[in-house]
Amino acid sequence: MASTATPMMKQYLGLKAEAGDCLLFYRMGDFFELFFDDAKKAASVLDIALTARGENNGQPVPMCGVPVHAAEGYLARLIKAGCRVAIAEQVETPGEAKARAKREGTPSSKVLVKRDIVRFVTAGTLTEEALLEPRRANMLAAVCDVRGTCGVAACDISTGAMMLEECIPERLPAVLARIGASEIVAPEGWATRALGENAEMVLRAVSTFSSDAGEIQLKAIHGVATLDGFGGFSRAMLAAAGGLLAYLDHAGRGNMPLLLPPFARSHDGHMAMDEATRASLEILASQQGGRAHSLIAAVDRCVTGAGARLLAEDLSAPLAHKPAIEARLALVQYLFSDPLLRGDLRGLLRALPDIGRALGRLVAGRGSPRDLGQIRDGLSGARRIHDMLKDRADRPAMLEALLPSLTGHAELTDLLGSALVPSPPTERQNGGFIAEGYDHALDELREVSGNARRAIAAMEARYRADTDTPSLKIKHNGVLGYFIEVPAKHADKLMAPDSGFTHRQTMANAVRFNSLTLHEEAGRIAEAGGRALAAEESHFEELMEAVAARREAIAGTAAALARLDVSTGQAERASEGEWCRPQISDDPVLDIEAGRHPVVEAALAASGERFVANDCALSSNDRLWLVGGPNMGGKSTFLRQNALIILLAQAGGFVPARSAHIGLVDQLFSRVGASDNLARGRSTFMVEMVETAAILSQAGERSFVILDEVGRGTSTYDGLALAWAVAEAIHETNRCRCLFATHYHEMARLAETCDALSLHHVRAKEWKGDLVLLHELSEGAADRSYGLAVAKLAGVPAPVVKRAKSVLDKLEKGRAETGGLAAGLGDLPLFAAALEAAEVERDGLRDTLNSLDIDALTPRDALDMLYRLKREAGDN
């Protein structure tokens, strides 16, 4: 940049160098200004005017700005567009700047108000109410690698929740998919492609990911000598925590947000799901993006934002521990069985503010009097809920455990109740939030200020009479303070030397004056008002400290209220849809009677249609169902609904079925549909094979798998061969419960050799040339695919359908004459036997090679040996 830059521009460029790749919001009076490329980018994203200010290197400097009072709205749009923002505030007043210039011997005309970056605003470090979605957690995650083990630290600084865990590198994408972080911090040089595609990425110095530093910082934050009371944390976990805390310290410029004691998350307590399964089942978002038509949209009946966030967490990480699931189900059952209690509870919960996020803003130093009021009202409401529940009989264990967290804040609520006005304002700079009677000295200052204002009103009336000027007014602005204003035609009356008025300013149509009496009254108002504001600010700090001192207890109350909201919402949803309480066991079963897909059923109900329920009965003797039938017949829906029923049950809720007996599932896999991932160089078929490979390598006997149309992305022979081999592997090696939908009728022959496999199909029939889809599941193999009928139903031109019919007739005739595509498949050995035969063949080859004396072979002997080995391998 040019050396002739103005002092202001030099200051800006210094701060911009510190901001790095963040957009710099540079405070100038009532605006945040942006310059150079920052201005161009912000103007484009925000659709605001791009102007110029001065020159740099002979070129105009691009500039745009946003008002300080409306900055949050603009910040929200920038963050949503993937930008990160550095906030540079004025850290001294103009008066302080002039005093500093005087001390330094600098001419006051050249002094520049000091500015500094006070905060970095990023996707994962938001606490402002206007920037956060009420019903969605805002997670920040940090990842690192310690000797081949990945450490993960995640927190939501808007509520303080913090979690640490570790995993093998192959499991990291699944872990991050579960967390759903909006921003991920990783060491420089990290392979970012493994971290997901939806989160903002920030790379930081490797040195910040220190397990020693992480441990020291956690101890300091929570004031403990050891972390043992919080759980057992590995070095990988602590290293990730070190990176996370260093980033938070950087983003907050030394001001740490609310962080509750961390907990170590174990993998064996929750059902595992990979990223593809989550996307396929549309748990928190549909594949089109957004919450609409997702599982949570169909299930969520929470009346608070905190409850909705906890429900999303439950659905993202279903439990795999029977006692924990039963505890949640018992509370839902208790509330389901008592509609009156449930209604009363939902009424009380609906009125409660989000005290978890209010607490987060206060502890982070970004709180307002309104946040203090929310803490007061939320804790008072929690106490009312406690009093409603404390004397009820037969309380389930989880409710019994929640009750103590709903009370115990009497001293704090009394303090906040007496100190605050009923509806505190969102801004504290103008005061007015401390209640009358709380501080008598403050009341006196307010009285002085009020009396002075009344005195000014009386003064205005007296001046009007004395000068015979009815249009005289006493006004106030931020530059002149109080002044007397009269129309220009009456100014001569006040200009007289003995009038008692002093001329201050002449306007186009008015003239402004001052008087000694007005000056004295204005001084009293300013002094009393300033002292009153200072007193209110002092009280705000005291009240905020009182809240911060009970941060963990308040957070516990917020968590208890959220759990009650989730449970009452689950009970309400079950009551609406006639859902049932699932029976959970350790047996390898899945016995669902009249199961339904919650999302599809809700969509059909909205259009006045009825969902066709279907049963599903898997056991150790019948663990693999091969499901055939036409497209649009309901195969994919049937597969997904059973996976979702398992997920809902293990999340601790009722399920859309007449009855459900569910054996615990440790891993849930869904390979239903596929799409290109061109960014990673993968075609649709490659994506399908990658997902199938993950299932075959990870699924165990306690897993549940749904597979839809494996092998359809390649040639018929290749596809059938792959589908056949995958089904055999699921049956023989993985031995998990599985629903396998396919159009390959030839695979029905597997039922002859796989004793735990059974055949099923979705029913359809043709009536007068039209296809009728019944959406009912029946036993036995499908007789045909009805592909041409579906094509006709979809609007494929009649000549094309007719031509396809003639081609199909010819193909079927050829298959009948030659024995069909599956001819000879029934003679194949079982999957395990084939593996054994291949192993025997490899052993024979190994023995032959080991017996060779290579040094004694002539070139001719060696060539003969290669030919013989090739013949034995069957490659002619």
Binding residues: 629-636
Residue 127's closest CA among 154, 161, 159, 89? Answer: 159
- Token readout for 867 is 């030919």
Cβ proximity of 82 and 200 under 8 Å? yes
Task: State the DSSP code for 303.
Answer: S
Task: State the DSSP code for 300.
Answer: -
CA terminus-to-terminus distance, the chain = 74
Find the largest Cα–Cα distance for the chain.
133
Burial degree of 541 (CB within 10 A; 0-12, 13-18, 19+) = exposed
What residues are designated binding site for ATP? 629-636
CA 687 from centroid of its chain's CA atoms: 25
Task: State the DSSP code for 733.
Answer: I
Cα 355 to Cα 105, 269, 377, 385, 695, distances in angstroms: 51, 29, 9, 15, 42
3-state secondary structure (DSSP) of residue 286:
coil
Number of neighbouring beta carbons within 10 Å of residue 30: 9
Burial degree of 863 (CB within 10 A; 0-12, 13-18, 19+) = exposed
- Token readout for 94 is 């103009």
CA 476 from centroid of its chain's CA atoms: 48
Residue 183's closest CA among 212, 204, 159? Answer: 204
Task: State the DSSP code for 192.
Answer: G
- Token readout for 44 is 């484009």
Q: Which helix (H) or strand (E) holds 760?
A: strand 757-767
The beta strands (E) that lie in 254-293 are given as: 263-264, 272-273
DSSP H helices in 491-624? 491-495, 516-549, 551-577, 598-606
CA 541 from centroid of its chain's CA atoms: 32
Radius of gyration of the chain, Cα coordinates, nearest whole angstrom? 36
Which letter, b or e, does each residue of 777-793 get, where b requires 16 or more Cβ atoms within 10 Å of its Cβ? beeebbeebbebbbbbe
Strand partners, 151: 144, 166
Number of neighbouring beta carbons within 10 Å of residue 523: 13
Round to whole Å and give the CA distance between 644 and 651: 10
| 149-156/140-146 β-pairing | antiparallel
Q: Which helix (H) or strand (E) holds 73?
A: helix 71-80
3-state secondary structure (DSSP) of residue 794:
coil
Cβ proximity of 172 and 194 under 8 Å? yes
Main-chain dihedrals φ then ψ at residue 850, nearest 5 degrees: -65, -30
Cβ proximity of 182 and 80 under 8 Å? no
Task: State the DSSP code for 569.
Answer: H
Main-chain dihedrals φ then ψ at residue 187, nearest 5 degrees: -65, 150
- Token readout for 820 is 């069909």
Apex CA 521: angle with CA 516 and CA 525, to 5°?
145
Which letter, b or e, does each residue of 373-387 get, where b requires 16 or more Cβ atoms within 10 Å of its Cβ? bbbbbbbbbbbebbe
Residue 663's closest CA among 704, 634, 629? Answer: 704
